[in-house]
Amino acid sequence: GDIVLDGYELRWGLTIAGLCLYAADIWTDICLALTYYQEEHYLWAGLTLAFILTGMLVSQIFSFAWYWDDMNDFFINPNGKATQAGLSKKEKRQRHHNLFCMATDLSMLKLFETFLESAPQLLLQVYIVLLGHREATVLNYVSMAFSFLSIAWSLVDYRRCLRRSLPHISEMPSGLPTAVYLLYKLCTITSLILSYSLYLIISAYTTVALTAVWLAMLIWTNILQTEFCSHRGLEILYRAVVGVILTFTFFNVKGQDTKVPMGIYYSIFCIINVSSPILLSVLMPEFNSSTLLAVDIFILCCVFLGLFCLVLYYVLLHPRVKLHDIDEVDGPGEKNNSVRRINTFLQP
């Protein structure tokens, strides 16, 4: 009993830690926007606030849609109220599983909001710092650190919650596997954002190229025909958000075998990371050479460490034990909207 309790405490503790990290990220970004406004950098302040509000708005749209679905779900709320008394062991287990499904809902909302807010925010902040339009402050570096960690941790937290809520998939182990997966995501995302920022320094038209990348990812999700939302408009929005996530990191969109797509994705990833500092040094030789060298070394180290952790995780640490899809004693059981939604989430 104590071991199980400790496991639950660890899961919820990690989730709370992620929420605290996310809150700190938002707070530092708001402070940074106010600083830009006071310094009369109105464009930067406006963009910073726009990124924050966009992430919040989109997550609230999905939150309301899921809440509406769940409120109309007979299995979650058959009499308009929730009661624990009189439930059988099977029903209590089902309700316990539903709680993890709702936790996964929250984790995915945080994932959406983090990528829509922190990822473009990081592009802007790294661009400002590297280009030297203003002297970088401690707040700049603290904000970027929280954003990088928030993005990486949101992926880890989402993966842990999702695997816990899918009964036919074994949980993501704590300790070394979680640490390696976190490092893999942190390093690959960091290097890619730094490379995108170098391209932005080369030309502002990089924003057009990034939009094209997002459109390519959006087209791919349309080709895969995701079926996440009950309404067509929300499904389009969902695919658009997934396109943003795929612009910065790889995700298994529909739970299929992804060895080939992942190989293609990270091949392009390596090309982007290697080419960005080379092109900057060739096209802008006046750029600070010591800064470029430091960024170049950091990018290459992140690429190497990130890909090493990727291989290490999926070869040695990735849980492979498959549980039974259906409990042999209890049967398939009832599936509410939350559970059905879990099965169409971005897969681990």
Contact 182, 40 (CB under 8 A): no
231: left (phi over 0), alpha (psi -120 to 50) or beta: beta
3-state secondary structure labels for all residues of 264-284: HHHHHHHHHHHHHHHHHHHHC
Region 57-79: mean pLDDT is: 73
If one compares 322 and 143, the residue with the highest pLDDT of the two is 143
pLDDT value for 208 = 93
Question: Tens digit of pLDDT for each residue in 303-343?
Answer: 999 999 999 998 888 766 554 433 322 333 445 555 555 55
Contact 142, 50 (CB under 8 A): no
Q: d(Cα 132, Cα 120) in Å, to the nearest integer? A: 18
Question: Tens digit of pLDDT for each residue in 246-283?
Answer: 999 998 876 666 788 889 999 999 999 999 999 998 88
> In degrees to the nearest 10, what's the CA dihedral of 269, 310, 116, 144?
-90
Q: What is the mean pLDDT of the chain?
A: 79
End-to-end CA distance of the chain: 28
pLDDT value for 229 = 77
Query: Where are the alpha helices (H) located in 39-166, listed in sequence order?
Result: 42-71, 89-131, 138-165
Question: Tens digit of pLDDT for each residue in 8-26?
Answer: 566 666 667 777 887 888 8
- Is the pLDDT at 201 greater than 70? The verdict is yes
Tokens found for residue 219: 């087209």
pLDDT value for 73 = 57
Q: What is the pTM of this model?
A: 0.82
333: left (phi over 0), alpha (psi -120 to 50) or beta: left
Domain ranges in the chain are: 2-80+87-342
If one compares 227 and 78, the residue with the highest pLDDT of the two is 227
pLDDT value for 307 = 95
The closest alpha carbon to 65, from 74, 57, 77, belongs to 57
Q: Where residue 90 falls among pLDDT bands split at 50, 70, 90?
A: low
Question: Tens digit of pLDDT for each residue in 149-193?
Answer: 889 888 888 887 777 766 666 667 678 888 999 999 999 999 999
Number of Cβ within 10 Å of residue 210's Cβ equals 16
